[in-house]
Amino acid sequence: MSETIHVALGARAYDVHVGAGLLARAAEIIAPFAPSGRIFIVTDKNVAHHHGAMLTKALSALKPTLIALEPGEHTKSFAGLEQLTSQLLAANISRKDLIVAFGGGVIGDLAGLAAGLVKRGVEFVQIPTTLLAQVDSSVGGKTAIDTPHGKNLIGLFHQPRAVIVDTSVLATLPERERRAGYAEIVKVGLIGDAPFFEWCEKAAPFVIGTTPEPEKLGGRVHRDATIATAVKHAIAFKARVVEKDETEQGARALLNLGHTFAHALEAHGGYSNQLLHGEAVAVGMGLAFQLSANLGLCGETDAARVRKHLSNAGFVTDLRQLPGAPFDPAKLLALMAGDKKNEAGKLTLILARGIGRAFIEKDAPTEVVRELLQQETT
Ligand code: NAD
Ligand code: GLY
């Protein structure tokens, strides 16, 4: 059983197919987008180990070439881009071939960027394999690499032709990675859907997989159904936002709740795998709500409820305890000042008037942000 969520973007419209066991049907979904009948599967070595043989078999009619890169955020770099594009060119990729990004957000962002650049643009399909990539990064066409100046600063909007979300591949995903993906799910509730946040407060242990012995008490069935609900809800929410604002001229920036703080924390730590992107987003969302409370925009109770939920879900929400600590507040602020969303030297942040009531603040008071960072890091 699978469902389709359409992303209505005119000439760049596409479907997100969601269901358990969809990898087996990948050829039928992908074939229309590979006119040459030749595809390049870009993946990382972990995903290749767990699921590479299965996908290669499912796509055998399309003569797949498998390129398996080193796993981890460091691959999403100029060096990773050079390596991947060189391999594609050495294999004489043509504009009629198709790139299949098969992995987490690192592979999706990197392979999507390579697809947008190689021979001035090759079509690509996303097959996300982490919870984070399934609910967020594979949909919406943002592609990028990181630089020492900041995260995702070199990139393109390049929409995939289709997205295939097979929730059964999540079975091999470590719990820490599932939790990181959960951050982008609960983000949806915090931005614009308070009832969904309330649902998340109950559902988090099932989505993350911390419920004991799911086989007993019908737990596995409940867990799979809960994950499917969460994944579809988050994708549909994102699809609606992207349809309204494909290239982030306005409302799409809401999806970056917590991300300006998160990107600064990730860059501060040199993009080390000590701190996963989703973990940084979780702490960043807590900070965005705390800042909103400090500015009198939302109640302290909302900020406390958000941070309590994130902490109950297993995230570290205290910057002093976060891997990479101690953080230098001045350096964090400088990194935040380099964010893509900023205009005319002013700090743009996503703040909230309550749970589910996020908004874009284009001139966040730097002094109050500085005080918050000072207070949270010392
Ligand atoms: P990731 O791609 O590094 O994957 C996490 C780890 O899980 C890796 O070690 C990977 O090898 C492993 N893995 C992947 N699938 C697996 C599976 N099914 N079983 C076992 N192991 C598996 O990290 P991520 O969290 O998926 O993505 C983070 C990246 O996504 C960041 O760079 C972030 O900036 C980016 N991102 C992009 C967007 C966007 O809109 N483009 C949105 C959110 C995040
Ligand atoms: N992850 C934010 C966006 O896609 O816009």
Q: Does 27 have pLDDT greater than 80?
A: yes
Q: What is the pTM of this model?
A: 0.96
113 Rama class: left (phi>0) / alpha (psi -120 to 50) / beta:
alpha
From the CB of 158, is ligand 1 less than 6 Å away?
A: no
Quickly state the pLDDT bin for 215 (edges 50, 70, 90): low
23 lines ligand 1 (CB under 6 A): no
Ligand in closest contact with the CA of 156: 1
Tell how far the Cα of 244 is from the centroid of ligand 1, in angstroms.
26
Q: What is the mean pLDDT of residues 290-306?
A: 98
Beta-bridge mates of residue 65: 40
pLDDT in tens, 187-205: 999 999 999 999 999 999 9
Q: Which of 61, 163, 19, 179 is nearest to 102 (CA)?
A: 163
Length of the chain: 378
> What's the rounded Cα separation, in Å, for the pair 165 and 125?
11
Between strands 64-69 and 39-44, the pairing is parallel
Give the gyration radius of the chain's Cα atoms: 20
Please report which confidence band the pLDDT of residue 211 belongs to, taking 50, 70 and 90 as the band edges.
low
Question: Which ligand approaches the C-alpha of residue 179 most closely?
Answer: 1
**Integer Cα distance of 112 and 104 in angstroms:** 12
Q: Which residues contact 93 (CB under 8 A, 6 or more apart)?
A: 40, 99, 118, 119, 122
> Which atom of ligand 2 is least distant from the CA of 256?
2
Q: What is the pLDDT of residues 268-281, one digit of tens each?
A: 988 888 999 999 99
Q: Mean pLDDT lowest for which of 47-51, 223-227, 233-237, 373-377?
A: 223-227
Where are the strands (E) in the chain, listed by range?
2-7, 14-19, 39-44, 64-69, 98-103, 123-128, 142-147, 150-157, 162-166, 349-352, 358-361
pLDDT (mean) for 77-104: 98
Q: Strand pairing of 98-103 and 39-44?
A: parallel
327 alpha carbon – ligand 2 mean position (Å): 25
- How far does residue 143's CA lie from ligand 2's centre (Å)? 10
